[in-house]
Structure 1
Amino acid sequence: MKPSYILNLPLKTEKWQEDILYKRLEIARKMYNACLGELLKRHKRMKQDKEYRSWIKQGKSKERSQVLKGLNKKYGLNEYAVHAFVKPMQHHFKKNIDSFTAQKIATRSWFTFEKFLYGPAKKVMFKREDGLTSVEGKSNKSGIRFIDNIFVWNGLKIHIITKANDVYAHLALEDRVKYCRVVRRKDRYFVQLVLEGVPPKKVDRSGKDKHRRKEGKVGIDIGTQTIAVVSEEEAKLLELAPSANNIEQEKRILLRKLDRQRRATNPHKYNKDGTVKRSKEKWHHSINYVKTKKELADMQRKIGDIRKQDHNKMANWILSLGDDIKVETMNYKGLQARTKETKINERTGRMTKKKRFGKSLANKAPSMLLTILENKLTYDEKALKKIDTYKVKASQYNHFEGTFTKKTLSERWNDFEGGTIQRDLYSAFLIMNVKHNLKEIDRDSCIKKWEGFKASHDREIERLRTSRRTIASMGV
């Protein structure tokens, strides 16, 4: 299967065209909600079936799986059953929604429900007004299409905006369009083209590659907010998506504003001490509250775009250090989950908070960086190498003695005869020197490359100590 990449292009829309696109997105949202609601109804009916209740109580077995699979088919809990459900609905809205787009909307609702049916989701969320911001086609042959640099959909024909000096876009448009989607971002509309092949290389004004790559080994130790990168020439400890911090303060101001507006219009929903009452009375939302909520949603979108841009820049920089990249596997779902153990603070006598790294992971998205890096490597027919974390144990290893010593999370430095070494940078150094089997560290390679790493490490620590802002987990 050939690789794919996405090209975003703004649409040169007029007001009447924007009104039609908005209407179609709202129709798509209602179709999505209808499909999701129908799936929930079918699931409820299936749960009332005596045969289902009998089999679901039994232990896992092949026979049980086959019976449950048959019951899912009987009650129409599969993707193609949703396609059949959406067909008459699409026929009613055929002037706005084509059959292929309707099928993709149904598929989208099925994927949402599937997470609820098989895990990990505990409930499904319906799309509110303005909640669905994109729809896509199945191919570039009918429905939503891109023909001769024009976006075409059920009678609508809209030209794209491309700059004459945008070499990247012009080169990308020479590739075959697999399918495309229309996206609304605040008051603007874009077409996203899913193109077949490898993205064209970006060049500077002199015609040289903007993102030059080279061969070499690179080790990555990625955390919830930071990343340590070590190559044979460099050692860096950096914050993930630092540009997103600039807009986080604005987000906090909006959240406080929302809370004030909510309290002002719903005094009946709060106790005297400010806590929320447990009652079935409805919440009232003012017009200004709804406006503020839309501002917050747009800010979330901006943060997401900035974070992705930062990750792309970092991925390009890592690839400029080397192409043999190794990284530890991380269970981000486990890090997001609240701790099950209940602890009491000895000083205050209160129960300590059970939250862990959910907020950090949501803000910095380390998994997204690895996905971007992996995608960029596949364009050169290479792969991101994921080491066996439990066998390598990079955070515990001492290559001088060849021993393993457990450390607490708060221990950020390793004490060696040559001085103190930052824990994350040392882990990245060890990961860089993992053998081809990805299960053990090459001790001889560590000894050979130690002096070069030590010099790079000391330069980086000096840089961090003179910088204005550092993350607490860096220990600097």
Structure 2
Amino acid sequence: MATPTYVLTLPLKTTVWQEHILEKRLNIGRNIYNACLGEAWRRYKYMTRNPQYWQAVRVEKGKERNRLLNNFKEQYGVRRFHLNMYVQNMGRKFRQNIGSQMAQNIAERAFSAVEKVMYGNGKTVRFCRVGEFYSLEEKTNKTGFRYFPEQQHVEWLGLTMRVLLKANDEYAHIALQDRVKYCRLLKKVIRGKNRYFVQFALEGFPPKKRNQNHSDDTEKRVGIDIGTSTIAVVSDTKVELTELAKGLANDEQGKRVLQRKLDRQRRANNPDKYNADGTINRSNREKWVQSQNYLKTKRKLAELSRKIVDKRKQKHNQYANFVLSLGLDVRVENMNYKGLQARAKKTEVSKKTGKFKRKKRFGKSLANRAPAMFLTILDNKLKAKGLELKRIDTAKVKASQFEHFTQTYVKKTLATRWNHFEQGDIQRDLYSAFLIMNTKGNLREVDVDRANETWNNFFNLHQQEIERIKHLNKKQLCSIGL
């Protein structure tokens, strides 16, 4: 049975000659990954050419369908076990740099990529380019890349690297008292330089930090209505509507500037690679020219992207801690973010302008704000306390349409940002979060009696929040409707 696991990341003290060996082994791992990915993909495509396979796919879901599909996977070798057998020879060839268990782990990573396509979670697989393979891991802490707590260093086939563990890092010292399941080598490019880290997969739950102010009341409810770029939070003591991952706007603008500059340099260096209308000339098979200024801009963009990723994760962790300080009964709408990312399929013409409506949806906002990542972080923090994030049935509750006073559903356009009641106007996202907070235990309907009891408190806190937003000394959130 799988036990709970959490990760601790610490830097490694490496010398130049050790870094050269680490780069060599990462490149060997990349070659093994690409070889396994190509073999698994070849077997899968060969299996899909059989018409009987698609007949089995169309069979009604059940034991019979599973039996038929498993037979095909066994026949064509499209199984994790078969890829582990395939990688054995490569493991023997590179045994001085890559252990057998690590080679099997690489093969399983490659098979997982093919599995995503097999089960409809992707369209194709992508091979890893030179310099873009950033991690290697073992299956246990007994062989290969492993940690020795007494000496506080890791050993890996002739390499001994000290783990930089600060004496005053109380969290890390407590965490390393738990059993180390396995270790992972992680490479990061920080300010243009390669840095190497060890990630410990530790058994159990992460230790509690001293400055953590999470609530201890599992009965206190918190309702969350999360959008593509905003988040509305409602509890008995706090009502807030704010940007998700607040403070990334300047970095995102800088990233767009560098992306446009990179495109201009690419076009200037390769004029023959583009058609007259600006599209790529597919018939030109010459090598792409990359100038020194182009590579410099590329490095700047990579560094800025890294900072955005780290800042976004930090902001999500901070806001998740804020939410848990309000209560531990956290409820949220179950959203299909993949559907929101996809382009619209239907071609429509605007009645006002007569032009085609754009098919883009919320892909850029979701990539920048990462709401699904926030919910994952929040859920992990709750699981560490033995709880979980409660996801309501969106189709049954219909929080954006329901009005608890009349107990009716009123459809509203996306542009309608306010609900009008006798007591006053209520912002739509905040009202949805209020209804989510007041759902019943089955998470399929709103508890109207509880909503009526908590209405006056919510209304007062709502008015305070709207006044706070009005007095902000910055551009108003576009989705609020002020």
In the alignment, structure 1 segments of 5+ residues that lack a partner are 204-208
CA distance in 1, matches of 2:33, 2:93: 15
Amino acid at match of 1:179: Y
Q: CA deviation at 1:68?
A: 3.5
Where does residue 168 of structure 1 map in the other structure? 171
Q: Does 1:230 align with 2:229?
A: no
Q: Contact 2:53–2:72 at 8 Å: present in 1 too?
A: no
The alignment's C-alpha RMSD in Å is 1.7
Q: CA deviation at 1:316?
A: 0.5
Q: Does 1:272 align with 2:276?
A: yes
CA distance in 1, matches of 2:295, 2:37: 25
Amino acid at match of 1:466: H
> Which of 199, 202, 210 is the matching residue for 2:206?
199
Q: CA deviation at 1:114?
A: 1.1
Secondary structure, counterpart of 1:440 in structure 2? coil
CA distance in 2, matches of 1:77, 1:38: 10
Q: Contact 2:47–2:53 at 8 Å: present in 1 too?
A: no
Change in CA separation of 1:353 and 1:247 when aligned onto 2, cut-off 3 Å: same
Change in CA separation of 1:322 and 1:118 when aligned onto 2, cut-off 3 Å: same
Where does residue 215 of structure 2 map in the other structure? 213
Secondary structure, counterpart of 1:151 in structure 2? strand
Q: CA deviation at 1:296?
A: 2.7
Q: Does 1:349 align with 2:350?
A: no
> Which of 33, 51, 54 is the matching residue for 1:53?
51
Where does residue 404 of structure 1 map in the other structure? 409
Change in CA separation of 1:74 and 1:290 when aligned onto 2, cut-off 3 Å: farther
Where does residue 177 of structure 1 map in the other structure? 180
Secondary structure, counterpart of 2:248 in structure 1? helix
CA distance in 2, matches of 1:45, 1:428: 50
Where does residue 114 of structure 1 map in the other structure? 115
The answer to which of 57-66 and 91-100 deviates more is 57-66
CA distance in 1, matches of 2:389, 2:45: 43
Q: CA deviation at 1:243?
A: 3.1
Amino acid at match of 2:213: H
Where does residue 393 of structure 2 map in the other structure? 388
Where does residue 256 of structure 1 map in the other structure? 260
Q: CA deviation at 1:470?
A: 3.2
Where does residue 336 of structure 2 map in the other structure? 331
Q: How many matched pairs? A: 468
Change in CA separation of 1:348 and 1:440 when aligned onto 2, cut-off 3 Å: closer
Q: Does 1:145 align with 2:149?
A: no
> Which of 410, 413, 418 is the matching residue for 2:418?
413
Q: Structure 2 matches for 1:87-106, cutoff 5 A?
A: 87-106=88-107
The answer to which of 129-138 and 300-309 deviates more is 300-309
CA distance in 1, matches of 2:402, 2:352: 35
Secondary structure, counterpart of 1:102 in structure 2? helix
Secondary structure, counterpart of 1:73 in structure 2? helix
The answer to which of 98-107 and 282-291 deviates more is 282-291
Q: Contact 1:7–1:193 at 8 Å: present in 2 too?
A: yes
Q: Contact 1:269–1:283 at 8 Å: present in 2 too?
A: no
Show CA shifts across 1:103-128 (max 9, x none).
11000000011112222211111000
Secondary structure, counterpart of 1:181 in structure 2? strand
Change in CA separation of 1:275 and 1:2 when aligned onto 2, cut-off 3 Å: closer
Q: CA deviation at 1:280?
A: 4.5
Q: Contact 1:269–1:276 at 8 Å: present in 2 too?
A: yes
Change in CA separation of 1:347 and 1:399 when aligned onto 2, cut-off 3 Å: closer
CA distance in 2, matches of 1:29, 1:99: 15
CA distance in 2, matches of 1:399, 1:350: 40
Amino acid at match of 1:384: L
Percent of aligned pairs with the same residue? 52
Q: CA deviation at 1:70?
A: 1.8
Where does residue 206 of structure 1 map in the other structure? none
Q: Contact 2:225–2:332 at 8 Å: present in 1 too?
A: yes
In the alignment, structure 2 segments of 5+ residues that lack a partner are none
Q: Does 1:188 align with 2:195?
A: yes
Amino acid at match of 1:433: N
Q: CA deviation at 1:265?
A: 1.9
Change in CA separation of 1:469 and 1:173 when aligned onto 2, cut-off 3 Å: farther
Q: CA deviation at 1:401?
A: 1.8
CA distance in 2, matches of 1:212, 1:65: 45
Q: TM-score, normalised by structure 2?
A: 0.93
Q: TM-score, normalised by structure 1?
A: 0.94
Q: CA deviation at 1:44?
A: 3.6
The answer to which of 339-348 and 86-95 deviates more is 339-348
Show CA shifts across 1:392-416 (max 9, x none).
1111111222221111111000111
Secondary structure, counterpart of 1:368 in structure 2? helix
Q: Contact 1:2–1:196 at 8 Å: present in 2 too?
A: yes
Q: Structure 2 matches for 1:326-475, cutoff 5 A?
A: 326-467=331-472, 468-475=474-481
CA distance in 2, matches of 1:383, 1:55: 39
Show CA shifts across 1:11-32 (max 9, x none).
1111111111111111101110
Secondary structure, counterpart of 2:396 in structure 1? helix
Amino acid at match of 1:183: L
The answer to which of 218-227 and 288-297 deviates more is 288-297
CA distance in 2, matches of 1:278, 1:142: 48
The answer to which of 111-120 and 286-295 deviates more is 286-295
Q: CA deviation at 1:273?
A: 3.8
Secondary structure, counterpart of 1:227 in structure 2? strand
CA distance in 2, matches of 1:188, 1:265: 31
Q: Contact 2:185–2:198 at 8 Å: present in 1 too?
A: yes
Q: Does 1:37 align with 2:44?
A: no
Amino acid at match of 2:442: N
Q: CA deviation at 1:193?
A: 0.7
Q: Contact 2:138–2:144 at 8 Å: present in 1 too?
A: yes
Q: Structure 2 matches for 1:281-320, cutoff 5 A?
A: 281-288=285-292, 289-320=294-325
Change in CA separation of 1:116 and 1:292 when aligned onto 2, cut-off 3 Å: farther
CA distance in 1, matches of 2:300, 2:101: 33
Q: Does 1:131 align with 2:132?
A: yes
Q: Contact 1:214–1:321 at 8 Å: present in 2 too?
A: no
Change in CA separation of 1:294 and 1:85 when aligned onto 2, cut-off 3 Å: farther
Where does residue 25 of structure 1 map in the other structure? 26
